[in-house]
Amino acid sequence: MSEATDAPAGKISEAGEAARHESEKHPEFLAHHFETPHQQFAAGKLGVWIFLLTEILFFSGLFCAYTVYRANHPEIFVYAHQFLDKNLGALNTAILIFSSFTMALAVRSAQLNRQRALVICLAITLLCALGFLGVKYVEYQQKWQHGLLWASRYNPSEHGENHAAEEAGGSAADTPAGEGSLAAGSSAERQSAEHAGNVPRNVGLFFSIYFVMTGLHGLHVLGGMGAIVWLIGRAARGAFSAEYFGPVDYVGLYWHLVDLIWIFLFPLLYLIH
Amino acid sequence: MTGQTQSPSGLHGTVHVVPLRVLVGVFLALLALTFVTVAATWVDWGQWNLAIALGIATVKAALVALYFMHLRYDHPFNALIFVVGLVFLALFLAITTLDTQQYQPEIDAAVEAAMEEAR
């Protein structure tokens, strides 16, 4: 903080003097309102951390909704979580952790001036993000086919029949066999449970929370992918080096926060028991 | 952060580079903890289920924040911002929970009464 904002006045004129003396050496990446690259970097990081703070508070509204509903209606969560696929959730957790790892490697590559490694690490991170959204798509499609949607559109039995007809029509090809049969099995279980009268009221509330939380998180993954594409473009043109890698670090911090939020979403939504 | 050795021409030598084996170790620990948190659901720990799941998630989050996000090596002010966020999150959840527990019995009673009437 002190380095970033309130450097003593004497130091500023000294540094300004030094900058004038070697004005031909003034690096291109240093914005004119910063004295040193390090000051620019520290200020940028401070800015990103304040942005991450607003992101934590943004998501905390959803975590609060989750807490209130789970505290008051635990039976809905215990009943409804069985329609989420633990294995796909764990797979996505592993994918996101790996992408965080490659992002950390990308920052390290930039710090060590390894241009090729930087581009490769960023590209792997981007592919992992794509993989994460792909798995998410498979999961959402399963929910959609079984009518396991947010509260106002939650209608599993009606969709269950439609789904049987669709499957006869041959549209089951675009879902993995294991997950498809598992979801179909639990759907049948669900319907028999409904006949027995064991289904809690307002199960759709769980899916409202599920879709808003994972949906907002998915949008953040999408946003992160845009930022990584931008980084790859700049890295390929050789914009980053051991002297200047701020943007790689800033996007990295954001990406790790997206990972961190998923680390909590996974047990809260998938691992209820 | 090692701010003492400021180089006028760039960042080189002014920022901590996390050693490769630390990054690999953190990555492997995160994968192992993911497996542990899934494996923990194979056993019913009763009222500890949620606490165990959240405890493991918190350890994972701490590893990400300390090493991947460099907070362990970074200027402490950035860590302070992060902790302030968590404090406000805790306040938000705690006060809302207190409030909802205050009124939920009345809401439940009203819903029951309405259901009775509908029958």
Q: What is the mean pLDDT of residues A22-47?
A: 81
pLDDT at residue A183, rounded to an integer: 43
Q: Does A31 touch chain B (CB under 8 A)?
A: no
Q: What is the mean pLDDT of chain A?
A: 80
Residues of chain B neighbouring A111 (CB-CB closer than 8 A) = 11, 15, 17
Does the pLDDT value for residue A233 go beyond 80?
A: yes
Between residues B6 and A80, which one has the greater pLDDT? A80
Whole-model pTM: value is 0.80
The two three-digit tokens of residue A99, written as one number:
């992408």
Quick one: angle between helices A246-270 and A204-236, nearest 10?
A: 160
Position A111 confidence tier, pLDDT thresholds 50, 70, 90: very high
Closest CB to A57: pick one of B14, B85, B104.
B85
Residue A42, chain B, CB below 8 Å: the answer is: yes
HSE on the CB side for A17, CA within 13 Å? 6
Nearest to A3 among B3, B69, B104 (CB): B3
Tokens standing for residue A195: 């006949």
Q: What pLDDT is recorded for position A193?
A: 47
**CA separation for the pair B7, B5 (Å, rounded):** 6
pLDDT score of A15 = 55
Is the predicted pLDDT of residue A72 greater than 50, yes or no? Answer: yes
Question: Which of B65, B86, B15, B79 has its CA nearest to residue A100?
Answer: B65
| Phi, then psi, of A7 in degrees rounded to 5 | -70, 140
CA distances from B39 to A74, A97, A135 (A): 22, 18, 21
The C-alpha of B46 sits at a distance from chain A's nearest C-alpha, in angstroms, of 9
Q: How far apart are the first and last CA of chain B?
A: 68
Q: Which residue of B has its CA nearest to A103?
A: B68
Residues of chain A neighbouring B7 (CB-CB closer than 8 A): 37-38, 243
Overall average pLDDT of the A13-17 stretch: 55
Contact B10 A264 (CB under 8 A): no
% of chain A with per-residue pLDDT over 90: 51
How long is chain A? 273
B4, B48, B69, B74: best to mutate for the A interface, most A CBs within 10 A: B69
Q: Between A36, A97, A266, which is nearest B27 by CB?
A: A97
Q: What confidence tens digit (pLDDT) does each residue in A136-148 have?
A: 999 998 888 877 7
Q: pLDDT (tens digit, 9 = 90+) per residue, B44-95?
A: 888 888 899 999 999 999 999 999 999 999 889 999 999 999 999 999 999 9
Alpha carbon of residue A67 to chain centroid: 21
Record: contact B93-A56, CB cut-off 8 A: no
Q: Which among A52, A242, A273 has CB closest to B11?
A: A242
Closest CB to A263: pick one of B3, B61, B69.
Answer: B61
The per-residue pLDDT for A163 is: 44
Residue A34: both structure tokens together: 């910063």
ipTM of the complex: 0.86
Q: Do B14 and A38 touch (CB under 8 A)?
A: yes
Q: Which of A107, A116, A75, A40 is nearest to A255 (CA)?
A: A107
| Backbone torsion region of residue A111, taken as left when φ is above 0, otherwise alpha when ψ lies between -120 and 50, otherwise beta | alpha
Query: Does position A184 have pLDDT exceeding 50, yes or no?
Result: no
Coil vs helix vs strand at A28: coil
User: CA-to-CA distance for B54 and B37, rounded, in angstroms?
Assistant: 9
CA count, 13 A, side-chain hemisphere, B17: 20
What letter would DSSP give residue A23?
G
pLDDT (average), residues A68-91: 88
- Whether residues B53 and A25 touch (CB distance < 8 A) is answered with no
Question: Which residue of A29, A40, A93 to mutate against B (max B Cβ within 10 Å)?
Answer: A93
Query: Is A245 within 8 Å of B20 when comparing Cβ atoms?
Result: no
Instruction: Identify which of B10, B53, B84 has the shortest CB distance to residue A27.
Output: B10
**Chain A neighbors of B90, CB-CB under 8 A:** none
Instruction: Count residue pairs from A and B with Cβ separation < 8 A.
Output: 168
CA B22/CA B41 separation, integer angstroms = 29
Q: Determine whether the interchain pair B7/A38 forms a contact, defined as Cβ–Cβ distance below 8 Å.
A: yes
Q: How close does chain B come to A28, measured CA to CA in Å?
A: 10
The mean pLDDT of A237-263, rounded to a whole number, is: 94
Q: How far is B82 from chain A (nearest CA, A)?
A: 6
Q: Read off the pLDDT of residues A134-183 as tens digits, 9 standing for 90 and up.
A: 999 999 988 888 777 777 777 776 544 444 444 444 343 343 433 444 44
Distance from the B34 Cα atom to the nearest Cα atom in chain A, whole angstroms: 7
